Structure 1
């Protein structure tokens, strides 16, 4: 199975595009800007869904589902929200097709125009808050903690598989609270849930912070985020959580009676991650040989490949392989025994290396005689022989070891590619020669932020929540600055 991948050093963008397709994660569809997520790619997304869904439910959230179509008038009710999404909306104007009279094909029936156009959801705040008006009357109805798994459409002109597509899959949480304090605590909690997931399941270290006013979600008073650094030195926003204040409650007249009998508007949050995380997973860990998947999210953590020359050897090897598979599964390890006779072992080795399976076990007749198996790690490409007596314990420990190794490697990469600068000239030099995260003082003005963005294509990724980096002066204007912020060029 020839991989023939472009190397990361040669062309990182081309390497990514080729890898997503060749590793059977996804492909472009017949609809411009949309993708088909293939079974292997979807299996990884299902692992992500399962862990996130568990974490949401452990924090008291429930799943629901809301319509994909949103009346256009709903968007007019929250001004900043419509401004933020207006250029990306797909609009349904008619409800029927008919055959053309000249036989040229199917056309839109001009007599089937909708009285009010419907927006294909780019996000669900408006339809959900219109619904919440019916669900919330009293403090007894709060907090309302709802999540939905869905697809959304944002009409992108320049697309890339997983990272930016016209339609993508995601989850979106929408919560209502009795007080401002509770809503802020919810938004911060979900940022921490996302951070926990990114670091402990995806093995991706992230920086937690808040967005600047110009980078906030449309309609939010505060946007919390987690930012990750990819191997090419570009940043990727891996998750956001928004404190919406009472903006949507006021727009959709969602009020509640508190314990004292006072009528007031509820406080709101929304939060979400999408299939963009698939792109982050690929770009953080993978190498020139293919995908590298962390064990916690790999659909198959271990694959067993039998090596044999005849039916007799196959029966002998299969017996050992199936027994091992049974023992490993009893320990919670996801194992695949590849007994296909249509491909040779070498082809299979290549395939599983390309697909990033964390651990490969090869068993041949000589291994059976010696009572050993050969282990091959995907993260280090190291091989070793292990006795059958120790194999189960070894494999279980390797799952944690590989997971930890991938995280530590990504942390080291981020540390090596995070630079603090004092001047704008130094900032531009580092950006062009090294890239990565750059910490620098900023005067807090939109004008300076826009100037940096226009001149360098770097944006403020977040105002970090970790310890204060000290007061100083803005690298551009020389004006006072209370702390350094995180800059990078980004996806």
Structure 2
């Protein structure tokens, strides 16, 4: 047997955690190590891009499945639009092109030829450059202009699952990459009221998904004009607090008004025979949500998955020392797995894997802990004699395990998984509330975001958290605070709070807003 597993196990014991460095020691590196430990993804040969590995892609598939069902339940249909967008399309909406111009990847040639030195070089310059899709409002608007002729064609409710490219200079896996996966919904409506209702409906779909499936508590709110999607009249979002107390924008829904329909020519004859421009919306959620899930729930032993999104909810680990025991233990584990798969959780059969790999039991246990599987079952000859299972929960310490009668565990597995799901949400909500402060003076606000916060014996500073502070909406003040503190208005909460006075301008403020440093 190789000495590598023994060396890894020894280092693990010395560190006392499966992941090093810990969150307190170096949060950014901890994040990367959680991804590596769970085998979610890796960097690719293309700068700023990543390879999503099977364990990570299975998580995205589960997110995709749930969201797709929610979209279709609200009347949306899936379609697909080109990856390439003519440059002229981007130029039709001024604010839109200004907002995305610096992030665009541009195709200018259509073939390669070998030069005198034998190296390939691009030739065949395109008549019009093509933008690699950073978002699809313009190309979809072009299609909508052909599909919409009459009020009878509305509402038009379309979603697409696709990849997009935004040429980011500083990247981090899942959170910000040059290419990422997402869904983008695009709709057209006959009236402003219908479009606004659609915008808010989809915001609530995102919030429901985040809270009930990803176990991430979010604040629903509207972006300020400075943070608004380029070309939109209003942008709404869900904001979550990560364990380093920075905010993550987890999903957005945009009321586009008639800006894009006028640019693309999306017109229809209304019931009175009059030509009208449609009212449009767009909304999206991406693989960034995987990064958000990781940073909300994971610990110093690795990934922690909410059971509703885990591709494996229960892993069974056969423990044996002889070949004679091996057959008996594996047969028992397979029968337990069949009983568990007959149970249902979140309207689907419980997802179970029997790990029959011929590896050290301790190594397999830590492998599944780092992958974040909600429930681990260890089964050896003694457990079979008692017809019991040795069970560990991922939301508890690795050594916190107990023996449970087989029938009792199988009968209660759905309840146990729901308990883990609810506990993760409650823990994250408590954390957010603990590090959210109501602030009423400029001095306290600046102190809150500049006071040194460093964990004991750790070089990594700890961020303050969220500040609930009155704000008059002055964009110049907002820009100055961003320049001074790298802090922005994350959102104007939809649940209106009490009116007051802006501590930065002394002007009236209709409500408190959420300020934070953000990803």
With normalisation by structure 2, the TM-score equals 0.92
Q: Alignment partner for residue 456 of structure 1, among 470, 479, 485?
A: 485
8 Å contact 2:19–2:37 — kept in the other structure?
Answer: no
Aligned to 2:43: 28
Aligned to 1:476: 504
Aligned to 2:455: none
SS of 1:140 mapped into structure 2: helix
Q: Aligned pair 1:436/2:465, yes or no?
A: yes
Q: Bigger CA drift: 387-396 or 320-329? A: 387-396
Q: Alignment partner for residue 380 of structure 2, among 341, 344, 364?
A: 364
2-side partners of 1:234 and 1:455: how far apart? Answer: 17
2-side partners of 1:221 and 1:4: how far apart? Answer: 44
Q: Aligned pair 1:350/2:366, yes or no?
A: yes
- Point out where structure 2 has 5 or more consecutive residues left out of the alignment: 9-17, 344-348, 452-462
Aligned to 1:336: 353
Q: Aligned pair 1:134/2:146, yes or no?
A: yes
Q: Alignment partner for residue 420 of structure 1, among 430, 434, 438?
A: 438
Q: 1:4: Cα distance to partner? A: 4.6
2-side partners of 1:416 and 1:353: how far apart? Answer: 27
Q: 1:429: Cα distance to partner? A: 1.7
Q: Aligned pair 1:19/2:34, yes or no?
A: yes
1-side partners of 2:479 and 2:117: how far apart? Answer: 54
List structure 1 runs of 4+ shifted beyond 3 angstroms.
1-4
SS of 1:319 mapped into structure 2: helix
Q: Bigger CA drift: 63-72 or 387-396? A: 387-396
Aligned to 1:487: 515
Q: Alignment partner for residue 78 of structure 2, among 46, 63, 72?
A: 63
Aligned to 1:42: 57
2-side partners of 1:291 and 1:219: how far apart? Answer: 38
Q: Bigger CA drift: 23-32 or 433-442? A: 433-442
Q: Deviations over 1:425-464 (max 9, x none)?
A: 1112222346111000112111111111111110000000
Q: 1:311: Cα distance to partner? A: 2.1
SS of 1:17 mapped into structure 2: helix
Q: Deviations over 1:246-266 (max 9, x none)?
A: 111100111111122221001
Q: Bigger CA drift: 433-442 or 51-60? A: 433-442
SS of 2:149 mapped into structure 1: coil
Q: Alignment partner for residue 408 of structure 1, among 412, 415, 426?
A: 426
Q: Bigger CA drift: 384-393 or 126-135? A: 384-393
Q: Deviations over 1:54-100 (max 9, x none)?
A: 10000000000000000000011111100100110000000010011
2-side partners of 1:464 and 1:396: how far apart? Answer: 35
Q: 1:317: Cα distance to partner? A: 1.2
SS of 1:187 mapped into structure 2: helix
Aligned to 2:393: 377
SS of 2:407 mapped into structure 1: coil
SS of 1:65 mapped into structure 2: coil
Aligned to 1:99: 114
8 Å contact 2:243–2:296 — kept in the other structure?
Answer: yes
Aligned residues: 486
Q: Alignment partner for residue 261 of structure 1, among 257, 265, 273?
A: 273
1-side partners of 2:142 and 2:386: how far apart? Answer: 69
1-side partners of 2:449 and 2:305: how far apart? Answer: 29
SS of 1:205 mapped into structure 2: coil
1-side partners of 2:217 and 2:470: how far apart? Answer: 23
Q: Aligned pair 1:387/2:405, yes or no?
A: yes
Q: Deviations over 1:316-349 (max 9, x none)?
A: 11222111111111111100000111x1110000
Aligned to 1:76: 91
- Point out where structure 1 has 5 or more consecutive residues left out of the alignment: none
2-side partners of 1:117 and 1:224: how far apart? Answer: 32
Q: Aligned pair 1:465/2:494, yes or no?
A: yes
2-side partners of 1:226 and 1:24: how far apart? Answer: 28
Q: 1:22: Cα distance to partner? A: 2.4
With normalisation by structure 1, the TM-score equals 0.98
